[in-house]
Amino acid sequence: QVQLQQWGAGLLKTSETLSLTCAVYGGSFSDDYWSWIRQPPGKGLEWIGEINHSGSTNYNPSLKSRVTISVDTSKNQFSLKLSSVTAADTAVYYCARVPGAGIAVDGVDYWGQGTLVTVSS
C-alpha cells in the first residue's frame, strides 16, 4: 500500500513562490513517476507535471516557465515550486503516483490528501 503525505504553506501573497513537498511511504520509489495536479475551487483538475527517481521531468506547457519539480531519493520525497503566483494559482494541490512510465501511459493510482493554497494580494 502506497501513502503520500504532503505539506507546505497554505497562504501566499501575489508574486511569491509556492512550495510543496510530498513524502512517499510504501511501494518502490524508483519504479514510478511522481506527479503534481491541482484543482481550483469549484473547477476541474489540471496536471502540472511529473518526475521520476532519476530527475527526468515533464511539465504542462502552460505552466512550464514557472514550475520546478525536484526529487530527493534519499528521503523518498518530491517537491513542487511554482514561482510568481497570482490569484489564478489558488487551488487544492495534490501530489500523486503515476506507476511505470508516466502520465501518458499509466495514469494516477494514488493521491495525496491535497493542500489548499490560497494566493491573496
Partner 1 sequence: SYEVTQPPSVSVSPGQTARITCSADALPKQYAFWYQQKPGQAPVMMIYKDTERPSGIPERFSGSSSGTTVTLTISGVQAEDEADYYCQSADSSGTYGVFGGGTKLTVL
Applying CB under 8 A, the residues found at the interface with partner 1 are: 35, 37, 44-47, 49-50, 58-62, 94, 102-109, 111-114
CB of 3 to partner 1, least distance (A): 12
DSSP, collapsed to helix, strand or coil, labels residue 91 as strand
Which lies closer to partner 1 via its Cβ, residue 42 or residue 121?
A: 42
Which lies closer to partner 1 via its Cβ, residue 15 or residue 31?
A: 31
Which lies closer to partner 1 via its Cβ, residue 15 or residue 116?
A: 116
CB of 12 to partner 1, least distance (A): 22
CB of 120 to partner 1, least distance (A): 22
What whole-number distance in Å separates Cα of residue 91 and Cα of residue 20?
Answer: 13
What whole-number distance in Å separates Cα of residue 96 and Cα of residue 113?
Answer: 9
What residue has cell string 490560497?
A: 118
What whole-number distance in Å separates Cα of residue 121 and Cα of residue 118?
Answer: 10
DSSP state of 104: H
